[in-house]
Structure 1
């Protein structure tokens, strides 16, 4: 198989791990361990506002206010503080650059964190260096909906079997696979790069 496209998630793939970022945020805000993750994943209002933010039904300020209230902390510019410890994942960024140099089209596909007042993609320099940037907030649909993968393929002007998709959430992979996309479940940056090298004819070698 000759691959012509590479699609990568943002948080936790192109960046350092989201869980480590969240743990650092909890520590910086004086929260109990696990409190932030519980607010996002277990609290009904937290789950709702995050889902709405991802598809543009809620603003980042709505998220700031809701999550701040759940956690009992100052909501001012909360998303910026919550993502303050994210950094570009160097070995993945290097792999992206090598792939593009080799003529492979590269897309970033992200369930959005919102763009205002804090734009994490711009903050980490992630709006350049890609052939396509697909953000769920702007599309009105989020992973794992099949539609957002179809839009990413259309933006790259490629078919599913021509592409590889990397995501750290296993539930996001089956809809991509159903379109013929080869998937990698990202758990370790070095292992992901090893798999990419093998799939993309060892273009990084």
Structure 2
């Protein structure tokens, strides 16, 4: 069956690498290397507020306050500053555009960073140009819950076997695979773009 749908993660897939962005943020804020990721991934308050933000139980301003407090820096509009070095990933954005031109439906599926006061999707020009945009904050459920993948398929009007999903976090792939979606673990933009080009060639054949 030819592929009719492409589902792309936002941070680290449609954009440049999140780790590089975070390292640049640490340098700009005068933080020790690794401090930001420790706050997000290891500090219990940071882990909790990020999980709550992703499903709409916390606001972006809550996140700003908690993460700013952990890091000991000004929390004002912190998410904007934290994502200031994030940029669209040209190879993946181009692959998505080629897919749509070939008649393939393209969705963005993202665990949300919050939408106010800073909307990173709009800031990076990714609030339109997709057949579906699925944000965990809006859906009140986040990856890797199977629910959010099914809602993405429903939004595209496609079955799992008709779609490919690209994500940079390996733990987000198995629930998609369980729905019959082909997955790509994104580690390098040029490699992923080549894989997607192969998909397009298969569809056109």
Q: Which residue of 2 aligns with 1:173?
A: 173
What is the Cα deviation at residue 196 of structure 1? 1.0
Give the Cα separation in 1 of the matches to 2:192 and 2:66. Answer: 35
What is the Cα deviation at residue 91 of structure 1? 0.8
Q: Which residue of 2 aligns with 1:22?
A: 22
What is the Cα deviation at residue 202 of structure 1? 5.4
Secondary structure of 2:201's counterpart equals coil
Secondary structure of 1:76's counterpart equals coil
Q: Which residue of 1 aligns with 2:96?
A: 96
Give the Cα separation in 1 of the matches to 2:130 and 2:111. Answer: 16
1:145 has 2:136 as partner: no
CA deviation digits over 1:95-152, x for unaligned, max 9? 1110000000000000000000000000001011100000000000000000000000
Q: How many residues get paired?
A: 204
What is the Cα deviation at residue 198 of structure 1? 1.5
Give the Cα separation in 2 of the matches to 1:3 and 1:200. Answer: 8
CA deviation digits over 1:150-174, x for unaligned, max 9? 0000000000000000000000000
Secondary structure of 2:187's counterpart equals coil
Structure 2 length normalisation: TM-score? Answer: 0.98
Q: 1:6, 1:104 within 8 Å by CA — same for their partners in 2?
A: yes
Give the Cα separation in 1 of the matches to 2:14 and 2:33. Answer: 25
1:61 has 2:65 as partner: no
Q: Any runs of at least 4 consecutive aligned residues in structure 1 with deviations exceeding 4 A, and if so which?
A: none
Give the Cα separation in 2 of the matches to 1:78 and 1:59. Answer: 12
Q: 2:2, 2:203 within 8 Å by CA — same for their partners in 1?
A: no
Q: 1:99, 1:203 within 8 Å by CA — same for their partners in 2?
A: no
Give the Cα separation in 2 of the matches to 1:163 and 1:201. Answer: 15
Q: What value does the CA root-mean-square deviation take over the aligned residues?
A: 1.0
What is the Cα deviation at residue 203 of structure 1? 6.6
Q: Which residue of 1 aligns with 2:35?
A: 35
Give the Cα separation in 2 of the matches to 1:178 and 1:15. Answer: 26
Structure 1 unmatched runs, 5+? none
Secondary structure of 2:184's counterpart equals strand
Give the Cα separation in 2 of the matches to 1:201 and 1:146. Answer: 29
Structure 1 length normalisation: TM-score? Answer: 0.98
Q: Which residue of 2 aligns with 1:135?
A: 135
Q: 1:79/1:53 Cα in 2 relative to 1: closer, same or farther (>3 Å)?
A: same
Give the Cα separation in 2 of the matches to 1:167 and 1:155. Answer: 18
